[in-house]
Chains A and B, each alone.
Chain A
Amino acid sequence: MTNAQNDVLVLGDIEFSSRLFTGTGKFASRDLITPMLEASGSQMITVALRRVDSSEKGDNILNYIPKTVTLLPNTSGARTAQEAVRIARIAREAGCGNFIKIEVITDMQYLLPDNHETLLATEILAKEGFVVLPYMMPDITVTKQLYNAGAAAVMPLGSPIGTNRGLEMKPMIKMIIETSKIPVVVDAGIGRPSQAAEAMEMGADAVLVNTAIATAADPVLAGKAFSYAVKAGRMAYLSSLAETKMQASASSPLTGFLRD
């Protein structure tokens, strides 16, 4: 029997029992973040770094995130490895741990990540002791290179950020899951709990969902729905479901009463 009870994901020196990572972007009100975290059970949440806006006095986003939840600052806005490194160092100086989601984007139409710059930034930041989670275009070779560079996990996109289109990159992600030596977190594009479950069934180690939860009419309920989906998908993966078949196979006896 597979023990799903002690099934934890270890990143850096932290054990995550929830495999649903969430984000703080796009919420209609920051007041929704705390109840969403409670309802979803998510233990890691992304934040971004920006110049302070003195008009937002006293409304620090950190006030809405319980201390038990690990912060995953991202490097959004970075277009080069050097910019990502600069943002990461600033984020660490903010005193909320050493996790960093590297996000280097030069394609402003589809917001697809630049794997080359992402790899360069990973090499630098992993050496500096960061727990590096690079957001990446699904690519097996780059996955190996990111592993060699010291990434703690890889975060291939399911589909472009904020599109809710699900696992358009499914065949590539599947290959990454099969071959990666580090955890695979499917990030971006997951729009429905069924898509999150699908990623987990395939063997993804976790999923990161922001837009789908934050922009639902009821983000707290959506967070809960995603939580169940991720758990169901994970359990299905651990249960090693049987393969699909072309021919039917009866679930009940067809003989022994009306027929011999």
Chain B
Amino acid sequence: MQINLNGKNMESNCRTLMDLVIEQQLDTMSLVAELNFKIIKQAEWNDTLIKEGDTIELLSFVGGG
């Protein structure tokens, strides 16, 4: 299925948000996910299903002033 992850369209076979985070090999410390502009708590990632056309943002802290 097609999803949009962090502004880029991509093909994904991930079933849940957690699958996607694992597939992307991301550090979950301070990682925040938005699914279609709604924040999804980390505790809910396992139960959050991804579907065709979803827009997903994965964000974390970087250096800034």
Which A residues lie at the B interface, using CB under 8 A? 23-27, 30, 46-52, 54, 57-58, 60-62, 71, 73-74, 76, 86, 89-91, 93-96, 161-162, 188, 208, 210-211, 214
Contacts and interface: CB of A to CB of B under 8 A. Distances in A.
B63 A26 contact: yes
21 contacts: A23-B65, A25-B64, A27-B63, A46-B65, A48-B62, A49-B60, A49-B62, A50-B61, A51-B59, A52-B6, A57-B25, A57-B27, A61-B61, A71-B61, A74-B64, A90-B32, A91-B61, A94-B30, A94-B61, A208-B65, A211-B65
Interface string B18-30: 0000001111011
The binding surface of chain A is classed by DSSP as: mixed
Interface of B: 6-7, 24-27, 29-32, 34, 37, 39, 41, 57-65
Contacts, number: 98
Contacts of A161: 65
Given A52-B6, A52-B26, A54-B25, A60 B39 contact: no
Given A57-B26, A90-B34, 6 more contacts: A25-B63, A50-B62, A62-B30, A86-B37, A94-B32, A162-B65
A23 B65 CA distance: 5
Nearest to A95: B30
Contacts of B64: 23-25, 46-49, 74, 76
A24 B26 contact: no
The binding surface of chain B is classed by DSSP as: loop
Given A47-B61, A60-B60, A94 B26 contact: no
A46 B26 CA distance: 22
A116 B27 CA distance: 37
Contacts of A60: 27, 29-30, 60-61
Contacts of A162: 65
A57 B27 CA distance: 7
A222 to B, nearest CB: 14
Query: Which of A27, A51, A95, A208 counts the most chain B CB atoms within 10 A?
Result: A51
Nearest to B60: A52
A135 to B, nearest CB: 10
A60 B64 CA distance: 13
